[in-house]
Structure 1
Amino acid sequence: MRALYQDCLALWRARSLLWMMARREIAARHAGSAAGMAWAYIQPMLTVAAYYLVFDVVFAMRLGENAPTRAVGAFLIVGALPWMAFCDAISRGMSSLIDSGGVLQKNPLPPVLFPARAVLASMAIHLPLIALVAIAYFPMHHFSVAVLALPLLFLAQLLLCGVLAYLLAILAAAVRDTLQVVTFFISVGIFLSPVLFPVTMFPEAWRWALWINPMSSLVMGYQSVLLSGIWPGAGVWGGIAVWLGVGAWVLDRLIARSRETLVDWL
């Protein structure tokens, strides 16, 4: 893991620059609009409100008895917010090296800064929203000890998004088709996760397929805490650890192999 360690060390040394770049990234996303940075929070909040209005108020849809909550909208919100954060971080992080090719060709900056900037900006936007959901769902979890797992889950999601975004950014620099392939899998990946339905509603013989999605473990963790007030089980933490471990190993190999040629690919 020497190559990955060196990049993490470079990222730590440039942490002040990283934070400044992330703040500018957030401001630049909605520059020129009247509401400015407020749009970064308005859009996810409107999506969440639409889920509640359509599924819980208009249609009053209900899940089965084994679901952590009967209200469909309340269930969707818990998984949808982390999923939106994941999709935004991966999409922007994946294209970050290509978008910053000119800067990297003229300045000896660590390439890891750019996917890290995109991921940090995306997660900084969604963290307050997840915190608001945790407060709004008080009647379900009653601020039990399990709520203390939320910072750990969010940190795990930040690390996972960082690893996958950097990995995909290097692949996209080498093979541009990566952008189209990953964008497609992100668009259909929500159906291979427990975001839209509880795990118990997925055919038992095919539940193993849910673990192909790196967000499945995290979504189950958020649902366990916010909907049931229960500390996430060993399966949740194990799934997160496997994805982080495998992703870090692959990323280390990619960094080592692309160290001398990455800027030329851009």
Structure 2
Amino acid sequence: MLLAQVQALWHARALWWVMTRREITARYAGTAAGVLWAYVQPLLTVAAYYVVFDIVFAMRLGDNAPTPAVGAFLIVGALPWMAFCDALSRGMLSLVEAGGVLQKNALPPVLFPARSVLASMLVHGPLLLALALAYGPQHHFGSALLVLPILVGLQFLLSLVLGYALAILMAALRDTAQIVAFVLSVGIFMSPILFPLTMFPEAWRWVLWLNPMTALVLSYQAVLLQGVWPSILAWAAIAAWLAGASLLLAVLLRRSRDQLVDWL
């Protein structure tokens, strides 16, 4: 089933790209700044973290943190988290919003979550890559920065698979939106975004790995803040989450194959 989805997306790649561009422009239609508004919120958030925590209060973390600067630490974790939440939320709603189109046209359903997730990553992806310019000089642009595009790509894949799975669940059960909104609201506290992993009680650190972004955030921190390659544990956790999410999506696709359009 998953291979068929990939093939359908590949064969309709031109349509996928057109739909993605239209979604980005439609989000900010009628505004003077247009698509630039998509970058305003994350940039203002990043600027606020830097000014408040690194300039005004000059707060510092402990010796075991990836960096002593609180603002820098928050930026490297919060920006990928914002990208993940935006992609997941938009992907989850994509099939329900496209219900009328799917009922009238024989389009592959995968196009719609793929469009929403790609539109989100086209906004946040360049910002994540731009972090290399901000933190690269600290480590003389070491070879570890070569991993950054791979991490962004893996985050896109994870967001796409989870977003598509949630879109199917949303079509079957509208309560999914409220559940996911709650999980995302508390998820940032169950990850090494607001505090270093070493500050969390060791006996309970396994809880953090239940968050699909924990391994990616740790990898971003390693590359950008420390100039080192992500640990094997982080790579293994990313692979495990991708495999688990793909298995879940395959099951949902098989069970919803004959009913998805009716649910919409």
* SS, match of residue 156 in structure 1: helix
What is the identity, as a one-letter code, of the residue corresponding to 2:111? Answer: L
Task: Please give the alpha-carbon distance, in whole angstroms, between the structure 1 residues aligned to 2:107 and 2:130.
Answer: 36
Structure 1 runs not aligned, ≥5 long = none
Partner in structure 1 of residue 41 of structure 2: 43
Q: Aligned-pair distance for 1:139?
A: 3.1
Match of 1:156 among 125, 148, 154: 154
Work out which of the residue numbers 70, 74, 80 in structure 1 matches 2:72: 74
C-alpha RMSD over aligned residues: 0.7
Could you list the runs of 4 or more consecutive aligned residues of structure 1 that deviate by over 4 angstroms after TM superposition?
none
Question: Can you list the C-alpha shifts for 1:134-191, whole angstroms capped at 9, x where unaligned?
Answer: 1011233321111111111111101100000000000000000011000110111000
How far apart in 2 are the matches of 1:22 and 1:99?
Answer: 15
Of 74, 91, 94, the match for 2:92 = 94
**Deviation readout 1:112-135 (Å, 9 max, x if unpaired):** 000000100001101111122110
Alignment of 1:213-228 (within 5 A): 213-228=211-226
Give the corresponding residue for 1:186: 184
Alignment check: 8 A CA contact 1:189 1:213 kept: yes
State the TM-score, normalized to the length of structure 2: 0.99
Supply the distance in 1 between the matched residues of 2:136 and 2:89 (Cα, whole angstroms).
32
Residues of 1 paired with 2:139 and 2:84: CA distance? 24
Aligned position for 2:18: 20
Aligned with 1:137: secondary structure? Answer: helix
Which amino acid counterpart does residue 28 of structure 1 have in structure 2?
A
How many residue pairs get aligned? The number is 264
> Structure 2: how far apart are the matches of 1:80 and 1:113?
28
Q: Which runs of 5+ in 2 are unaligned?
A: none
Q: Which amino acid aligns with 1:138?
A: G
Of 26, 29, 39 in structure 1, the residue corresponding to residue 27 of structure 2 is 29
User: Alignment partner for residue 172 of structure 1, among 166, 170, 194?
Assistant: 170
Partner of 2:50 in structure 1? 52
Per the TM alignment, residue 230 of structure 1 is displaced from its structure 2 partner at its CA by 0.3
Q: Percent identity?
A: 66
Kindly state the Cα deviation for residue 197 of structure 1 after the two structures are TM-superposed.
Answer: 0.9
